[in-house]
Amino acid sequence: MAVVLEAMNRGKFGREDYLKYFDSAVFLKTFHCDGQETSIAIKTHFHFIVLFPFVNNKSNQWKLTGRRLLDIGTGPTIHTVISASNCCDTIYLSDFAPQNRETLRKWLKGSLQHSFRSFFQYVVDREGKGELPSDREAMLKDKIVGIFPLDLLQAEPLLPSLFPTFDINTSSLCMKVAAPDLAGYEIIARSVGKLLKEGGHIALFGVPEGSFYQVGSHIFYCLKISGEQVQEIWKRSGFKIVGWMQNASLGQHDTSLSDFEGVFHMVAQKSL
């Protein structure tokens, strides 16, 4: 906690930190390394991120489909849209940090010196259709329309790009990082809601309560927010919660890298 307080005193929280200090390569090595068994929320709870609500619901009550999907705050990794690629026609990736968008472009072109093979393997194994990880990766790349700047602190987050509203929005570990406080989180939720068509869905993965995470030597701020507060804010923002899963078990968790408590996945539908 002392290192967090030191970072707060230095003022190293906020959007400029991502432009100056966020190292995409270090982030991938720390949290998304192939074969790594200790990465936060990625191995222990990977099924929460990539499968629910696309292929992990046997009742099919919440299984989402739609023509167009926007992933909000993709970061330098593509794990959030692997399963979604089977459920939509086109995928739009987005992020605030230029270095993250460049990392995604390198992956799309095949020049990124980082492998996501274990994540593709995980998905195709659980879908059980005999698909090769390399084929699934190629299919995902074919469906990606582009990689776009996104600023959740703006009323129109995707400007200067303009798009028709989307059928599905997905987001993982992003909105609580952008929000300065609970009121700011609600403003973000309402702005994100404008990107969805009426009746469209958002699939949101997050970690309750965490106030920071560390990439390399740098500490990044997160809004401390509970699962109950997340649900209430989205309800007030014009959404109906149609799916909620929360797990307080952390498995192997290096608390020096983040102080989050458990994981959740929410599916909410924009009111008609």
Closest CA to 87 of 134, 51, 131, 35: 51
Q: Using CB atoms within 10 A of its CB, is residue 236 exposed (0-12), middle (13-18) or buried (19+)? A: exposed
Going from N- to C-terminal start, the domains of the chain cover 2-270
For residue 75, the model assigns a pLDDT of: 92
For residue 49, the model assigns a pLDDT of: 55
- Residue 33 structure tokens: 């390394």
Kindly tell me if the per-residue pLDDT of 271 is higher than 50: yes
Helices 98-109 & 24-31 angle (0-180, nearest 10): 70
Query: What is the pTM assigned to this prediction?
Result: 0.87
The pLDDT of 113-125, averaged and rounded, is 85
The long-range contacts involving 230-234, CB below 8 angstroms and separated by at least 24 positions, are 230/204, 230/206, 230/264, 230/266, 231/266, 233/182, 233/185, 233/186, 233/189, 234/189, 234/202, 234/204, 234/266, 234/268
Quick: pLDDT tens for 65-74: 889 999 999 9
> How much of the chain exceeds pLDDT 90, in percent?
47
For residue 98, the model assigns a pLDDT of: 96
Lowest mean pLDDT among 108-122, 200-214, 225-239, 250-264: 250-264
**Which pLDDT band, with edges at 50, 70 and 90, does 229 fall under?**
very high
At 147 the three-state DSSP class reads strand
Distances 103 to 3, 80, 130, 152 between C-alpha atoms, Å:
28, 15, 29, 20
Closest CA to 177 of 215, 211, 228: 211
Q: Position 106: which residue type?
A: K
Lowest mean pLDDT among 4-8, 194-198, 203-207: 4-8
For residue 215, the model assigns a pLDDT of: 82
Quick: pLDDT tens for 21-62: 888 888 888 777 655 544 444 444 455 555 555 654 454 456
For residue 89, the model assigns a pLDDT of: 95
Residues near 135 by beta carbon (within 8 Å), at least 6 away in sequence: none
Quick: pLDDT tens for 152-190: 999 999 999 999 999 999 998 889 999 999 999 999 999
Kindly tell me if the per-residue pLDDT of 102 is higher than 60: yes
Q: Rounded mean pLDDT of the chain?
A: 82
Lowest mean pLDDT among 103-112, 190-199, 263-272: 263-272
For residue 58, the model assigns a pLDDT of: 52
137 compared with 16, residue with greater pLDDT: 137
Residues near 142 by beta carbon (within 8 Å), at least 6 away in sequence: none
For residue 272, the model assigns a pLDDT of: 77
Write the CATH number of the domain with boundaries 2-270. Answer: 3.40.50.150
The pLDDT of 193-197, averaged and rounded, is 97
Kindly tell me if the per-residue pLDDT of 109 is higher than 70: yes
The pLDDT of 243-252, averaged and rounded, is 70
